[in-house]
Amino acid sequence: NKGNYEHYMQKEIHEQPESLKTTMRGRLIRGGSCKAKTVLLGGLKDHLKTIRRSRRIVFIGCGTSYNAALAARPILEELSGVPVTMEIASDLLDRQGPIYREDTAVFVSQSGETADTLLALEYALENGALCVGITNTVGSAIARHTHCGIHINAGCEIGVASTKAYTSQIVVMAMLALAIGGDTISNQARREAIIDGLFDLPNNVREVLKLDQEMKDLAKLLVAEQSLLVFGRGYNYATALEGALKVKEVALMHSEGILAGEMKHGPLALVDENLPIVVIATRDACFSKQQSVIQQLHARKGRLIVMCSKGDANAVGPGGSCRVIEVPQVEDCLQPVVNIIPLQLLAYHLTVLRGFNVDQPRNLAKSVTTQ
Ligand code: F6R
């Protein structure tokens, strides 16, 4: 049921304040004055010790689910101290890459039925790794075959392009990072800030959804373009990849997510006064590096659209020199949840304006059950 919306993708984008609440329900504890703030993940509690002791954590997924894991990687590394590596399921299988008994392999999948991810799971089980599932589908193959796991609880996602599952996956993996990290005096303030940030996230998402009309206007401006680049780094490298994936899969426009740190190693050659470029430059430890990326793109007359924290328009585009998208600032590791939303809206409006099928893009299936 689409309710008052024209498309499922649109409904699912706008549902995110609620789907995120459902994802967190019963899992975040913010007790009274003497009670510490904690995270409870029932499906993992018997395995947390093993995960903490593992030699590395390997994230495995495809498409949007892979991108969600990439967004959560930095906070998992920071809080757990365990090395975290990333694998696209098909590539792990193609290489028959090494997976060891001492590894924790985390399988991320909205449907829980993606063939490549499932085959990678069988492979990791054969190699003796502890296998953790993060899926949105109770009783799915990945949920059944992993040793333990966490349900995303984002509610049924119908649009082929994944939106609300992506943000809920990031939140689940941030909670996973908190659960694995455990309480130490030295990280207490950071943990509390993240937990407070999680509680406030639905409201911040509601706030950023108000950019709907602004993103529609931007889509009008970009409707006839051949290509769109998205630059991000740090926590928002994943946002760049995921924003570009949304634009290409539903709006059928070429789009590429680029790690800003790689700009000078090739992509800079593409920059001219015609190619539109989204630069994600919200406040975090990478902000000054992104400012210098903006300056360099500017010097080459790049057509910039900068996503920045509220109030930063002048810090990123001096003298109104570029178009800005201002978003609420949240705890750095949760910023990808907020930042993807304007790009989801942009992809949605581009698709409608270009006259393509929003909920069932050509050639794509919601659940890819063949290799
Ligand atoms: C993109 C998209 C796909 C899926 C990918 C994995 O919007 O929907 O990239 O994310 O096919 O699917 P799941 O998460 O079901 O394993």
Closest CA to ligand 1's atom 16: 109
Residue 368 Cβ < 6 Å to ligand 1: yes
Task: Count helices and strands (H / E) in the chain.
Answer: 14, 12
The SS3 call for residue 263 is helix
Closest CA to ligand 1's atom 10: 64
The residue with greater pLDDT, 366 or 138, is 138
Contact criterion met (CB below 8 Å) for 64 and 110: yes
pLDDT of residue 366: 85
Model pLDDT for residues 175-200, shown as the tens digit of each residue = 999 999 977 888 899 999 999 999 99
Residue 359 Cβ < 6 Å to ligand 1: no
The minimum-distance atom of ligand 1 relative to the CA of 61 is 16
Lowest mean pLDDT among 12-26, 35-49, 90-104, 161-175: 35-49
Model pLDDT for residues 285-342, shown as the tens digit of each residue = 999 999 999 999 999 999 999 999 999 999 998 777 789 999 999 999 999 999 999 9
Q: Which of 167, 162, 145 is nearest to 365 (CA)?
A: 162
Candidate of 60, 62, 172, 360 to mutate for ligand 1, largest count of ligand atoms within 8 Å of Cβ: 62
What is the average per-residue pLDDT within 256-281? Answer: 96
Closest CA to ligand 1's atom 9: 63
Model pLDDT for residues 65-88, shown as the tens digit of each residue = 999 999 999 999 999 999 999 999
The SS3 call for residue 281 is strand
Who contacts 231 (Cβ-Cβ below 8 Å, separation ≥6)? 240, 258, 259, 260, 263, 277, 278, 279, 280, 293, 297
- Check: pTM over 0.90? Answer yes or no: yes
Tokens describing residue 340 = 């993807």
**Residue 301 CB neighbour total at 10 angstroms:** 11
Residue 243 Cβ < 6 Å to ligand 1: no
Cα(153) to ligand 1 centroid in Å equals 16
Instruction: State the pLDDT confidence band at 349, using cuts at 50, 70 and 90.
Output: very high
The per-residue DSSP string of 225-256 comes to: -SEEEEEE-GGGHHHHHHHHHHHHHHH--EEE
CA distance 264 to 79: 31
Cα(160) to ligand 1 centroid in Å equals 8
Handedness of CA 111, 113, 117, 121 (dihedral sign): positive
